Amino acid sequence: MKSNSVNASIITIGDELLIGQTIDTNSAFIAQELNKIGVWVRRRLAVGDVYEEIWQALDEESRQSDIIIITGGLGPTADDITKPLLCKYFGGKLVVNEEVLAHVNYLFEKVFRRPGPMLERNLKQAEVPDVCTVLHNARGTAPGMLFKRDGKVFISLPGVPHEMKGLIVNEVVPYLLSAFKMPAIVHKTAFTAGQGESMIAELLKDFEPSLPSHIKLAYLPNYGMVKLRLTSRGDKKEEVEKEMIPYFEKLQELVKDFLITNEDEGLEIVIGKILKAKSKTMGTAESCTGGYIAHLITSVSGSSAYYKGSVVSYANEIKENILGVKKETLLSVGAVSEETVKEMVNGAISKLNVDFALATSGIMGPDGGTDDKPVGTVWIAAGNKEKVDTLKLNLRFDRQRNIGMTATNALNFLRKFILANS
Amino acid sequence: MKSNSVNASIITIGDELLIGQTIDTNSAFIAQELNKIGVWVRRRLAVGDVYEEIWQALDEESRQSDIIIITGGLGPTADDITKPLLCKYFGGKLVVNEEVLAHVNYLFEKVFRRPGPMLERNLKQAEVPDVCTVLHNARGTAPGMLFKRDGKVFISLPGVPHEMKGLIVNEVVPYLLSAFKMPAIVHKTAFTAGQGESMIAELLKDFEPSLPSHIKLAYLPNYGMVKLRLTSRGDKKEEVEKEMIPYFEKLQELVKDFLITNEDEGLEIVIGKILKAKSKTMGTAESCTGGYIAHLITSVSGSSAYYKGSVVSYANEIKENILGVKKETLLSVGAVSEETVKEMVNGAISKLNVDFALATSGIMGPDGGTDDKPVGTVWIAAGNKEKVDTLKLNLRFDRQRNIGMTATNALNFLRKFILANS
């Protein structure tokens, strides 16, 4: 299988990756984009700002892969050593590239609007090895650089994520499509919620061995959901897709009781599609999730068509004063209770003037737990003008994960409520 | 420098990392924890669920590092091949470990509360190579495994983040501290906001060459901030720290006009500390950031001491009905305007009953821009009962980054307002 494919390695450079101060999101983006066009990413390697280790990484990865993508180490500061290293590695010398220089000047004058003469360190951004092809970085001053040696392609990109992304989409992908004959890779993804990985695997225990060897099934558990992904490859995209259809249908059938969507999309997108199709609106009243559900929903472009807003009622007085939760409810059963989240939903429906509302209240930790209501106790309510349903969770994770798990469970609970009550 | 230190490699296993479907947060966590105790992470490598490539990665990394940490590939599903591979690699055979079996039984009966007999695939979690030391995974069914060969230590951990984290903190770190003599590593971090990386570097252009060779300066730009980190190492922690003091003070002095904090902490923590010290409260009124600022603030444990909540007024009617923004304001100058964010702040101060409020309204894209107000136009306001200040941004990124940049700028604007007006 792998012998017919185009392989790539991704090398990310920077001490910050090795001391854990930065999470490497660049590699995931690059891998996604390469994968879409049929490039198989075999390895991802992160090394520090250390000359010999970068050099060694280039040697190692070029022995294994056809394409080597390098990010980071191109900035204007002294800890960035990649450009002179690449220059030496490929036996060139640094020369000013007039087009890059013009672009750097343009950015400083027109976009950044910096007064005064440009800094020497910024002018240096226009220097590139004379043995590379320059890739235009429309979003920043550090150009991409492409080198070739022994049939292998090396592409160096800046580490700033939005600059790297622009270069991948506008320069790297078109180049690779023209330079390599790619196999077709097809992924089909379904999401389940409400069952763990091992229970879903049990439903699929006869299905998995029935797959042809070139079709792979992967399980990707995430915050209370399991993503199921079938991957296949072949010469022609249409044929690969056609062959996949019955397997993907069978997969969906087997997990149908827990299936949320057969697209690679989050719950916030699924709910948005349902609401748009029904021309309904929603709002949220969040205590323990503190705006995270609102953030997930509004991360979707176009969400203003169905989402009106949230009352993040972190303090009890906000629950009372804006959402109209009764003082006696808060005094008698407390903020983390079935009755409070019911009243929060009713308040949100009326104050936000929406068809559906979702409310959360819980103890996310690490502090604030009691014997009666330990850390991880969460109440969720979803409702419309006629009816409110509730759900209790007992989570056992750290604060960030408790917030994430609450959001996933709440959104899935709302999804089911909308489907059952409209 | 490196010859006196303990080196580690992190190997993450899983196709999902190579097709970019999952962002690797595990490596960052592991790197942080190892770094804290003086282990230098030389390389991080991600490979797919491919037998030969995992084998090769073990060979390669054990040639270079003293400690090899492996995560992923230990789950109960068929795409997880790591355990049998490790068994063969270290020449053992799989045997049921009674303690792990008891723990798996306990989890299924008491914690997951699954009815009926346990699945074969879950029972298999209790099988481990007879040549390993088992590391107790209190949070899940897949145990950690420790192997030794030729003076190198190999530790295999499950890929589920909260299980891996528990194992690192409770098992791996104590073991490494007992097994290796660690050098002392000290980091000192300062955050600046309001200037780009190259301008900050210009302020530090004479400082950086003045550092002794064992003290390194790194620049970590992130959403409108620049993190500046000094790193040093030596035999005794107290001596390393003492030597660092004058350099870190000089660094802060040089960037003082843009300095936010001299701790490794985000703006939401800095603002929380200021408000707690002054016994003041705050709230937010978010349109374009859609709850993201509320989420950042409430991610901090204990934030309920100063943060009351947010009105996420995504729809204009919420701005009017809850925050009291005037209809004529919305009709005449629109939701994305200086006047609207001012009225949002005043509404938030009164409705949320807080000392300080922060408001955002803007166009995050990719749709919704006009000639007058292109995508990236943002108004921010911060105020108290006496006064409201405003700030306009012209951003030029994608939706997620525009939201992140707006949040950073807004929080920094509020921070300055609080310091200037209390």
Alpha carbon distance A286, A414 (integer Å)? 13
Instruction: For residue B1, name the pLDDT band (cuts at 50, 70, 90).
Output: very low
DSSP secondary-structure letter at A182? Answer: P
For residue range B320-370, what is the model confidence (pLDDT) as tens digits? 999 999 999 999 999 999 999 999 999 999 999 999 999 999 999 999 999
Buried b (16+ CB within 10 A) or exposed e, A231-244: bbbbeeeeebeeeb
**Where in chain B do CATH 3.90.950.20 domains reside?**
267-420
Q: Which of A22, A32, A43 sits opposite B47 (nearest CB)?
A: A43
Q: CA–CA separation, B260 vs B225, rounded Å?
A: 9
B-proximal residues of A, 234-263, CB under 8 Å: none
Confirm if B232 and B214 have CB atoms less than 8 A apart: yes
C-alpha atoms less than 13 angstroms from C-alpha of B239 in its C-beta half-sphere = 6
Reduced to 3 states (helix: H, G, I; strand: E, B; else coil), residue B398 is coil
* pTM (two decimals): 0.82
- What pLDDT was estimated at residue B122? 77
Chain B positions touching A201 (Cβ under 8 A) are 76-78, 121
**DSSP code, position B75:** S
A contact residues 72-131, partner B, Cβ 8 Å cutoff: 75-79, 111-112, 119, 121-122
The two structure tokens encoding residue B100: 């792990």
Strand, coil or helix: what is B188?
Answer: strand
Predicted pLDDT of residue B387: 97
Q: What is the pLDDT of residue B3?
A: 38
Q: Minimal CA–CA distance to B107: which of B70, B136, B150?
A: B136
For residues B148 and B152, give the distance between their C-alpha atoms in angstroms, rounded to a whole number.
Answer: 6
pLDDT of B4 reads 56
Q: Give helix B399-420 / helix B267-278 axis angle, nearest 10°.
A: 30
Nearest alpha-carbon partner for B391 in B360, B419, B350? B360
Q: What is the SS3 assignment for B230? A: strand
Torsion sign, CA atoms B43, B46, B49, B52: negative
Which is nearest to A186 in space by CA: A210, A208, A207, A216? A216
Residue in A60, A165, A312 nearest the CB of B291: A312
- The CATH number that domain A184-261 falls under is 3.30.70.2860
Could you give the residue range(s) of every CATH 3.40.980.10 domain in chain B?
2-179
The residue length of chain B stands at 422
pLDDT at A2: 37
Architecture field, domain A2-179: 3-Layer(aba) Sandwich (3.40)
CATH 3.30.70.2860 residue window(s) in chain B: 184-261
Size of interface A-B (CB pairs under 8 A): 316
Q: Classify burial at A28, counting beta carbons within 10 Å of its beta carbon; exposed 0-12, middle 13-18, buried 19 or more.
A: buried
- Per the model's pLDDT, the better-predicted residue between B1 and A385 turns out to be A385
Q: Is B367 on the interface with A (CB under 8 A)?
A: yes
Chain B within 8 Å of A315 (Cβ-Cβ)? yes
**Minimum CA–CA partner of B38 in chain A:** A19
Q: How far is A130 from chain B (nearest CA, A)?
A: 25
- What pLDDT does residue B386 have? 97
The phi and psi torsions of B4 (rounded to 5 degrees) equal: -90, 5
**CB contact (8 A) between residue A19 and residue B29:** no
Cis check: omega of the bond before A366, within 30 degrees of 0: yes
**pLDDT reported for residue A76:** 65
Over residues B298-315, the mean pLDDT reads 97
| Residue B267 φ/ψ region, left for φ over 0, alpha for ψ in the -120 to 50 degree band, beta for the rest | alpha
* ipTM summary value: 0.82
DSSP strand pairing (A282-286 vs A133-135): unpaired
- Report the SS3 class of residue A278: helix
DSSP assignments along B329-340, one per residue:
HHHHT-SSSHHH
Q: What is the DSSP letter of A208?
A: G
Q: Residues A365, A411: contact at Cβ < 8 Å?
A: no
Segment B131-143, tens digit of pLDDT: 999 999 998 889 9
Q: Which CATH architecture has domain B267-420?
A: Alpha-Beta Complex (3.90)
Nearest CA in chain A to B208: A78
A261-316 pLDDT tens trace: 999 898 999 999 999 999 999 999 999 999 999 999 999 999 999 999 999 999 99
Residues of A in contact with B169 (CB under 8 A): none
Name the residue among A159, A152, A160, A104 with its Cα closest to residue A128.
A104
Q: What is the DSSP string of B113-165?
A: ---SSPPHHHHGGGEEETTSEEE--TTSSS-EEEEEETTEEEEEE-SSHHHHH
> CA–CA separation, B360 vs B379, rounded Å?
6
Query: Which pLDDT score is estimated for B79?
Result: 60
Please name the residues in contact with B48: beta carbons below 8 A apart, sequence gap of 6 or more.
Answer: A42, B13, B14, B15, B17, B18
Q: Over the Cα atoms of chain B, what is R_g?
A: 26
Residue B268 phi/psi, 5° resolution? -65, -30
Stretch 174-213 of chain B: residues touching chain A, C-beta under 8 Å? 187, 196-198, 201-202, 205, 208
Q: Which residue has the tokens 């550090």?
A: A142
In sequence order, what DSSP letters do the residues of A347-406 get, joined into one string?
HHHHHTT-SEEEEEEE--SSS---SSS-TTEEEEEEE-SS-EEEEEEE--S-HHHHHHHH
What local confidence, expressed as pLDDT, does residue A306 receive? 98
For residue A58, the one-letter residue type is L
Residue B351: list chain A partners with CB under 8 A: 321-322
Which residue bears the tokens 């950690």?
A: B144
- Mean pLDDT rounded to a whole number for chain B: 91
Query: Chain B within 8 Å of A24 (Cβ-Cβ)?
Result: yes
CA distances from A43 to A68, A100, A165, B50, B335 (A): 10, 31, 19, 11, 47
Contacts of A178 (CB under 8 A, 6+ apart): none
Residue B160 touches chain A, beta carbons under 8 Å? yes
Quick: pLDDT tens for B371-389.
Answer: 999 999 999 999 999 999 9
pLDDT value, residue B78 = 56
**Which runs of consecutive H residues, i.e. helices, occur in A204-321?**
237-254, 267-278, 292-298, 316-321
| Of the partner residues A31, A284, A295, the one whose CB lies closest to the CB of residue B292 | A295
**How far does the CA of residue A289 sit from the closest CA of chain B (Å)?**
7
Distance, in angstroms, between B303 CA and closest chain A CA?
9
For B88: left if phi > 0, alpha if psi spans -120 to 50, otherwise beta; the answer is alpha
Whole-number pLDDT of residue B77: 65
d(CA A269, CA A29): 20
Query: Which of B271, B298, B264 shows the shortest CA–CA distance to B416?
Result: B271
- Contact flag B202-A119 (C-beta cutoff 8 Å): yes
- Rounded to whole angstroms, the Cα distance separating B105 from B108 reads 5
Inter-residue contact A369 to B301 (CB < 8 Å)? no
Q: Which of A42, A303, A308 sits opposite B318 (nearest CB)?
A: A308
What's the token pair of residue B83? Answer: 């355990």
pLDDT, position A1: 34
| CB within 8 Å of A365: residues ≥ 6 apart | A375, A376, A398, A399, A402, B301
* pLDDT beneath 50, residues of chain A: 1-3
- B286, β-bridge pairs: B312, B360
From the list A394, A395, A375, A391, the residue with the least C-alpha distance to A383 is A391
Chain A residues near residue B297 by CB distance under 8 angstroms: 290
